Amino acid sequence: MKFFVLAILTLSSSISTTNAFSASYLDQLSVKNVESAPSTIPKTTPQEQSSGGGGAKGGDVASKLVGGFPASSSLVDAGFDGSNVITEADREVMEDPIFVKEMKMYAESPFTTPEMIMIAKRFLHMNQGIDSPELLATDFRFMGPVVGGDDGLTKDEFLKAVGGFDIKSAFPDINPGFHHFRVDPFAPNRVFFTSTATGTHLGNFLGIEPTGKSFNTPPQACSVTIDSSGLITKYTIGHVMDRSIGNTGGLGGIFGPLVAIGKPFPFPEARPYKPSKRYRAFQLLGKGITKLNKWKEERKERKAMEAA
């Protein structure tokens, strides 16, 4: 039973094994180059804005503008660096304190941003550390939205659970779809990334015969925390970012694929969200109060009109 509970904790990427992590790699990496984001944004004149400003780059940006904004979904792809093609109104937006000042490098990070991301990808490439346990620190913890509780699974618990859980045989074409790697500005020793997993149920899975059905999970927020020696101290997965995407009922981790193949586990946490009776009653109460207040306002207005 213990194995069964631990076995459902994660979507193992099961990517092919490569050489073990080399500690000497970090010694070969370049020295950190800490570069802070500018505290203010240089102003541009209306003429510079209309002509693109900032030389050739500004001209290239201007040619991509639609309604005053870069047509590309990526500001970087559009060449926008905060100092060209920006209006006074944009300047107020950019200086609003609700936006965290993000940087290319963080002084508090144990390594440079490219190094941090490479360490995270190396961990994922080595089957999330299963094929190279030396990548995990002795105080490593694994945590999902449900699995792991308040303290998370220890290194040994994680390795035993995931190491004996061959999801690749059940979903031969499984792809966790890891993307959008970035350093957390609030915890610069952590790398966040997103997973949008896909796969087809073609093999036996936890006693479930192949269904031939495919799954597509919502985007899920994941992260690894890295210590000063380059080891992973914490791994989090499965936190759904948009439950309206995919065919897993808004679920990630291993619960989502089971919903997609029509074999969900028989407990609420492993099934699509359903409002509780108490929450539905709370909603009805709120609607009732809203209608009552509206009726009172209309009655007050009618009396005022009659008095006039």
- Span 145-173, average pLDDT: 88
The answer to the question of residue 39 being in a domain is no
Structural domain that includes position 281: 276-308
Q: Are residues 7 and 116 in the same domain?
A: yes
The answer to the question of residue 102 being in a domain is no
Q: Are residues 86 and 161 in the same domain?
A: no
Please say whether the beta carbons of 222 and 239 come within 8 A.
yes
**Three-class secondary structure assignment of 258-270:** HHHCCCCCCCHHH
Cα end-to-end distance, the chain, whole Å: 76
**CA-CA distance, 144 to 167, in Å (whole number)?**
17
Q: Are residues 187 and 244 in the same domain?
A: yes
Whether residue 32 has pLDDT greater than 60: no
Please say whether the beta carbons of 257 and 11 come within 8 A.
yes
DSSP 215: E
**What pTM value is reported for the model?**
0.68
- Span 43-68, average pLDDT: 43
Number of folded domains that form the chain: 3
In tens, the pLDDT along 205-229 reads 888 999 999 999 999 999 999 999 9
The answer to the question of residue 258 being in a domain is yes
Please spell the DSSP secondary structure of 34-70, one letter per residue. --PPPSS-----HHHHHH-SSHHHHHHHHHTEETTEE
Q: Are residues 225 and 292 in the same domain?
A: no
DSSP 100: -
pLDDT of residue 308: 77
pLDDT of residue 298: 93
Whether residue 287 has pLDDT greater than 60: yes
Number of helices (H), then strands (E), belonging to the chain: the values are: 10, 10
Confidence of residue 85 (pLDDT cuts 50, 70, 90): low
Q: Are residues 288 and 266 in the same domain?
A: no
Q: Are residues 114 and 16 in the same domain?
A: yes
Q: Are residues 289 and 303 in the same domain?
A: yes
